[in-house]
Amino acid sequence: MRVLITAFEAFAGSPVNPSEQVVNAMQQAGLSGQQLFTSVLPVDAHTAPQILSDAIEASSPHIVIALGEAANRPVISIERAALNILDFRIPDNEGNTITDQPILPGGPAAYFSTLPVRAILKRLQASGIPAELSYSAGAYLCNMVFYLLMDWASRQPQPVQAGFIHLPSLPEQAAARGNSGPSMSLETSLQAIRAAIECAIEQHAQNGG
């Protein structure tokens, strides 16, 4: 099976992004028995869509999990839905601040994740990894990539397991901010994403995918 995992580069003044570190660690270790593809997307509303699209085209994936960082969340957030809206509270890395615009004019208001989100939640919690189902991926680059991913998935002839998972900041990021914010170790986040991929593979297999 072909599995694509995407991440984001660092943004908002932090030198690192936990999603990029998770993807790099997975890239190094590989995915036993599966073909793993990874892509680190720019935090740039104008170029991220094309780079996502290229990564999808290059991998022709059965499963796609897009990752991003949610700096104020203490647990793994398994996102349920992407909204067709852009509303940036901070500029992206190229200085774009987009407010109250649709991602795809005329597109549906939202797409639901096609990952087995409930199964992933249960798997993570059973593995001792703090996690939650989330009903909002925000209105920044993460939600944008999530929406575009699901829009692509909706146009595929075969069902694709696709969705988005937010990771907490790394401990070193929280330490650098010095503001008592939450964090999660790279090891725990990596373990979470490995478990999520396993769930997606199992469901894909069950669906005869």
- Distance between CA atoms of 98 and 87, rounded to whole angstroms? 6
Instruction: Report angle CA 50, 186, 93 to the nearest 5 degrees.
Output: 35
- Distance between CA atoms of 100 and 85, rounded to whole angstroms? 6
Catalytic-role residue among 20, 79, 199, 204: 79
Identified binder of a copy of itself from the candidate list 8, 37, 111, 146, rule CB under 8 A: 111
Catalytic-role residue among 20, 62, 69, 166: 166
Q: Collapsing DSSP states into helix, strand and coil, what is residue 154?
A: helix
C-alpha distances in Å from residue 127, one per residue of 101, 140, 193, 195, 198: 39, 30, 12, 9, 13
**58 is a site residue for a copy of itself (CB under 8 A):** no
- Distance between CA atoms of 26 and 66, rounded to whole angstroms? 13
- Which token pair is 21? 């570190």
**181 is a site residue for a copy of itself (CB under 8 A):** yes
**106 is a site residue for a copy of itself (CB under 8 A):** no
Q: Compute how many residues bind a copy of itself; rule: CB under 8 A.
A: 44
**74 is a site residue for a copy of itself (CB under 8 A):** yes
Binding-residue pattern over the window 117 to 156 for a copy of itself, x denoting contact by CB under 8 A: -x-----xx-xxxxxxxxxx-xx-----------------
Total Cβ atoms within 10 A of residue 51: 16
Active site residue 79: yes
**98 is a site residue for a copy of itself (CB under 8 A):** no
> CA neighbours within 13 Å on the CB side: how many for 201?
16
Q: Any idea which residues carry the catalytic annotation?
A: 79, 142, 166
What is the binding site for a copy of itself (CB under 8 A)? 73-75, 80-81, 83, 85, 87, 100, 108-112, 118, 124-125, 127-136, 138-139, 170-172, 174-176, 178, 180-185, 187-188
